Structure 1
Amino acid sequence: MSMVLFASVVRVRDGLPLSASTDYEQDKGLQETKKHLKGLSKKLSQFPDRCSLRSGLYNINFTSSLGVGYMMVCTENYPNVLAFSFLDELQREFIVTYDTKRINSALRPFSFIEFDNFIRKTKQRYNSPRSLSTKINLADMQTEIKLRPPYQLSAEDIGSINGFSQHKQSKYKGIAPNQMLEAVTLSGIIACILSVLCGALNLLRGVHAIESVLQCYLFIYFSVWRNIKSFLAFAMICLCNMYLYELRNMWQILFHVTVGAFITLQIHLRRPQGKAPDYNV
């Protein structure tokens, strides 16, 4: 029998579980699959925004948007279109019910325990195809999955988490840099212009100019470990200005360090763009 067995909502940046369905299933294979799901939840930021993973007799499907991940375990024969329609319903309800500030400030696991009731009711609906078919229109989801099918994860992709022993580099990493970033703000434009100016002023010093160019690149394009790279670039700017202390006056040093700090902040503030739901569908 095809059915949804378990579902959870997690915060993407750290895998903190925000809500989950109550599960009394003691099947060993399902419990093992849930361990895989827990491991995946801690690495959602490294994956494309829509993925599937086969785990024995079960499938793990998940989507992520606006800093929140929606995950589920279903039987291997459960239709993909129903699985992702189920996740889409969870996403729509969750982002309407809870604002981003509250999600980001959550400290304890299952801070939104009251959302479990919606997960339970939605799971019951999706496990009753007869009553479900009259309440939702799957045509749009079918078209979307056909045009942009979920990425199929494998043991090679996710490495050695929760019993997987493969250590090869993930094939999906090439997808990450194409992720869109949020719209550029006025302060971001100013920071980028000032950084280009710093790079031009340091053009004769080679490596020192590259740091400003790198920061501009990190601001404009998405990159894996983007924030860490920006902090390293800023650290190099500080070190280079310390090295050039005798060749520059205090105002010049202060200008370069301030611009470096400003664009580093803008890189941190410009988040990857989540897929906003279409409420007209």
Structure 2
Amino acid sequence: MSMVLFASVVRVRDGLPLSASTDYEQDKAVQESKRHLKSLSKKLGHFPDRCTLRIGQYTINFTSSLGVGYMMVCTESYPSVLAFCFLDELQMEFIVSYDTNKINGAVRPYSFIEFDNFIQKIKQRYNSPRSLTTKINLADMQTEIKLRPPYQLSTSDIGTLNGFANFSPHKYKGIAPNQMLEPVTLAGIISCMLSLLCGALNLIRGVHAIESVLQTEEEDLNCIVAFFIGTAACFYQCYLFTFCTGWRSLKAFLSFALICLCNLYLYELRNLWQLFFHVTVGAFATLQIRLRQPQGKAPDYNV
């Protein structure tokens, strides 16, 4: 049977439990899953902000935001969309109920025990999916999960040492699959359009150079190569600005270096203003790629 078995709210910086659902479950496998949940809660700050860990026939899902983590244990067959909608509702209610100062000032476990009542109510509601009325939220969550799926942890990822997670904080420094970039700025749009323009100009000059070779055979073949490499570098900068890939900044600098080298080689075929325009656009595009970073958790992110 698909159902939510346990849920808790913890403080990210030290794993202090702030509230949790009442636990009547004595099954050993469930208790083992809860032990893993407690281990994870100690190291939430080292994990991506949305993760899933499968432990046998049970699944641990958790999210974190604004210094608070929301965790749950459910059966393996429980839909991921419902699980993260459940955590989303926990987060929204908790944020409304308690301010940051109160959360940071908590010194005892389960300081917000009165929140347990809400956890129990929402748990009962999500264990009867037919009674749910949040169809729009479910659709939104389905889209969100497709765009940025939860990271799939494994027991080998976290390890256990005396019941505490043994996780390297450097492991997830890279860019997650399908991670989105920050919103496009006007300067970014302008840089992308100028890069396309420079790429088109290089392409046109390259085509004309090929025609010249075919007709007179006097054109330097290396110039043709330089024009097309410049075209590829400009278009690739547009790609880097638009899509989230690994090592974006390094790739952007390498593309800019190619643009500079190509224009240096084409020095005799272009005047100073043309060279200045191409190099300046390349530098501007590189800057915009560097400034448009992968998106962290937005202030209004509720999942």
**Is TM more than 0.5 here?**
yes
Correspondence 1:150 to 2:150: yes
For 1:168 and 1:107, how far apart are their aligned partners in 2?
Answer: 25
Aligned counterpart, 2:30: 30
8 Å contact kept, 1:66–1:274: no
* Separation (CA, whole Å) in 2 of partners of 1:35 and 1:134: 31
- Alignment match, 2:237: none
CA distance in 2, matches of 1:136, 1:75: 24
Distance 1:142 1:73 in 2: 20
1:18 is matched with 18
**SS of residue matched to 2:172:** helix
- Structural mapping, 1:182-193, within 5 Å: none
- Letter matched to residue 300 of structure 2: P
Deviation at 1:150?
0.1
- Residue 235 of structure 2: aligned partner: none
1:236-274 superposed Cα distances (whole Å, 9 cap, x missing partner)? xxxxxxxxxxxxxxxxxxxxxxxxxxxxxxxxxxxxx75
Q: Secondary structure at the match of 2:160?
A: coil
Counterpart check, 1:58 vs 2:81: no
Distance in 1 (CA, whole Å) between partners of 2:175 and 2:116 is 31
Matches within 5 A, 1:128-207: 128-133=128-133, 137-161=137-161, 172-175=171-174
Q: Is the 8 A contact 1:85 1:138 kept in 2?
A: yes
Q: Which amino acid aligns with 2:155?
A: A
**Shift, 1:159, TM fit:** 2.2
Alpha-carbon RMSD across the aligned residues, in angstroms, is 2.9
**Matched residue type, 1:59:** T
Check conservation: 1:10, 1:41, Cα contact below 8 A: yes
The structural deviation recorded for 1:164 is: 9.3
1:276 maps to 2:299: yes
Change (3 A) 1:176 1:68: farther
- Separation in 2 of the partners of 1:168 and 1:276? 26
Deviation readout 1:36-95 (Å, 9 max, x if unpaired): 000000000000000000001100000000000000000000000000000000000000
Contact persistence 1:6–1:23 (CA under 8 A): yes
2:117 is matched with which residue? 117
Q: Is the contact between residue 58 and residue 74 of structure 2 (CA under 8 Å) also seen in structure 1?
A: yes
Supply the distance in 1 between the matched residues of 2:101 and 2:12 (Cα, whole angstroms).
Answer: 14
Q: What is the correspondence of 1:31-110 to structure 2 with a 5 Å cutoff?
A: 31-110=31-110
Structure 1 stretches of 4+ moved >2 Å: 133-137, 159-165, 167-178, 273-279
- The answer (yes or no) to whether the contact 2:51–2:62 under 8 Å persists in 1 is yes
Structure 1 letter corresponding to 2:157 = D
2: distance between equivalents of 1:100 and 1:6? Answer: 24
Q: C-alpha distance in 1, partners of 2:118/2:136?
A: 16
After superposition, residues 225-264 of structure 1 pair within 5 angstroms as none
Question: May I ask how many residue pairs the two structures share in their alignment?
Answer: 187
| Distance in 2 (alpha carbons) for counterparts of 1:277 and 1:169 | 28
User: Given residue 174 of structure 1, which amino acid in structure 2 is its aligned partner?
Assistant: K
Letter in 2 for 1:79: P
Partner of 2:189: none
The one-letter amino acid of 1:277's match is D
Gaps of 5+ in 2: 182-295
Q: CA deviation at 1:11?
A: 0.1
Percent identical across equivalent pairs? Answer: 74
One-letter amino acid matched to 1:145:
I
Residues 35 and 162, structure 1, Cα contact 8 Å, conserved in 2: no
Q: Could you tell me whether the CA contact under 8 Å between 1:20 and 1:110 is conserved in 2?
A: yes
Larger Rg over CA atoms: 2
Whether the aligned pair in 2 keeps the contact of 1:157 and 1:170 (CA below 8 Å) is no
Q: Deviations over 1:207-260 (max 9, x none)?
A: xxxxxxxxxxxxxxxxxxxxxxxxxxxxxxxxxxxxxxxxxxxxxxxxxxxxxx
The amino acid that maps onto 1:131 is S
Shift of the 132–164 alpha-carbon distance from structure 1 to 2, 3 Å rule, reads same
Give the counterpart letter for 1:146 in structure 2: K
TM-score between both structures, scaled by the size of structure 1? 0.61
Kept after mapping to 2: 8 A contact 1:66/1:275: no
